Amino acid sequence: MHLSQRITNITGGGSDGWDLFNRARAMIAQGVKVTELTIGEHDIPTHPSILNAMHDAALGGHTGYAAVPGTTALRETVAARLQEQTGVATTAANVMITPGGQSALFASHMAVCDDGDVALYIDPYYATYPGTIRGVGAVPRAVAAHADNAFQPRAEDVEAAAVGAASLLINSPNNPTGVVYGEDTLTRIADVCRRHDMWLISDEVYDTQIWEGRHLSPRALPGMAERTLVVGSMSKSFAMTGSRCGWIAGPEAAIDHLITLATHTTYGVPGYIQDASVFALTQGDGLEQEVAAPFRRRRVIAQDILARQNTVGLIPSQGAMYLMLDIRATGMTGEGFADALLDAHHIAVMPGESFGAAAAGHVRVAMTIEDRAFARALATLCEFAESRACDAG
């Protein structure tokens, strides 16, 4: 039987970027002990107080169909949070609750791209971005951000790619690089979007994990609220990855149509999860700081370890739970290095090439295991890189 090109072409006929991760998981299934520094999964569970709120809501009967746009309470809570962060007037009518950030990314592109439209995204990118764009029938076009500019995208590169494009997807703090886009970067990107009448889709799921500088939502920039869709999530800020609760914020007219899309696709998010999300979001910033603290701590550990050697370079990590390491001194590709490290030391990291051509010669390390184990694994990675650099020399 014939399957649609839309679904069979999601990966563009190539790898989906998860080959190393899948190989590591296969080794684990065979009984091999592997140190996983691959995916952005917290090593602490969802806070008991959030789980208790979820439990109470479920026992209280909020287990049936919830309102498709999201509960009024959660939409209003998210709206108030965004208004406080950005200074942009925001109400529940500007917010739709989604089953996680990935669903929000798909729906956002569905809202602004017709079949065959060009949709831009920054390379390096989270591995699902081009597939998400292909999945809605649009054509992905990468805009490279380069290591020599600390992976900050250049407006002139966006400008060169923008002719005829319908949208641009950005992510700050950035996965995989850990880079936070500065105000100058975002202002110049916003200028390009206005000049070319493009939608801006801003993935801000790491907005509470800032180690240097500050998070700026482009929705707050002049003339951008009416052409920006913001994607947010409970997953990273509150260690609620499995709860699948996120949102899209944007112009009311766009949200109205997105609600229609959700009616015909996801049909909403369980009410007891939304109630727990309201609880979490109204506890002040204490829970978010508790979730972020291990990554802040491990970033300092990593900086100390990397300062003791000169083979592995660290891209300035300003936010999120990842480090992007430059291993080009070894003479190896990111894929080759990650495969060899896994074989030699059973340490799994993600090849930079999993996140686009611009990250070639790099690997991404997730800071998602206990401090001492993380330090040991990173030190071993550096020793391995030094040995390979000597071999290459």
pLDDT digits (tens, 9 = 90+) for 313-324: 999 899 999 999
pLDDT at 393: 63
Q: Which of 255, 281, 307 is the last residue of a domain?
A: 281
Please indicate, yes or no, whether residues 101 and 185 belong to a single structural domain of this protein. yes
Please indicate, yes or no, whether residues 336 and 373 belong to a single structural domain of this protein. yes
Please indicate, yes or no, whether residues 237 and 88 belong to a single structural domain of this protein. yes
pLDDT at 309: 96
Please indicate, yes or no, whether residues 92 and 203 belong to a single structural domain of this protein. yes
pTM, two decimal places: 0.96
Q: Which of 281, 306, 326 is the last residue of a domain?
A: 281
Please indicate, yes or no, whether residues 143 and 231 belong to a single structural domain of this protein. yes
SS (H, E, C) the chain: CCCCHHHHCCCCCCCCCCHHHHHHHHHHHCCCCCEEECCCCCCCCCCHHHHHHHHHHHHCCCCCCCCCCCCHHHHHHHHHHHHHHHCCCCCHHHEEEECHHHHHHHHHHHHHCCCCCEEEEEECCCCCHHHHHHHCCCEEEEEECCHHHCCCCCHHHHHHHHCCEEEEEEECCCCCCCCCCCHHHHHHHHHHHHHCCCEEEEECCCCCCECCCCCCCHHHCCCCHHHEEEEEECCCCCCCHHHCCEEEECCHHHHHHHHHHHHCCCCCCCHHHHHHHHHHHCCCCHHHHHHHHHHHHHHHHHHHHHCCCCCCEECCCCECCEEEEECHHHCCCHHHHHHHHHHHHCEEEEEHHHHCHHHCCEEEEECCCCHHHHHHHHHHHHHHHHHHHHHHC
**Is residue 52 situated within a structural domain?**
no
- Residues of the domain holding 335: 5-45+286-388
Please indicate, yes or no, whether residues 259 and 140 belong to a single structural domain of this protein. yes
pLDDT digits (tens, 9 = 90+) for 240-298: 999 999 999 999 999 999 999 999 999 999 999 999 999 999 999 999 999 999 999 99
**Is residue 51 situated within a structural domain?**
no
Q: Which of 233, 265, 281 is the last residue of a domain?
A: 281
pLDDT digits (tens, 9 = 90+) for 20-45: 999 999 999 999 999 999 999 999 99
Please indicate, yes or no, whether residues 107 and 122 belong to a single structural domain of this protein. yes
**Is residue 322 situated within a structural domain?**
yes
**Is residue 55 situated within a structural domain?**
no
pLDDT digits (tens, 9 = 90+) for 127-136: 999 999 999 9
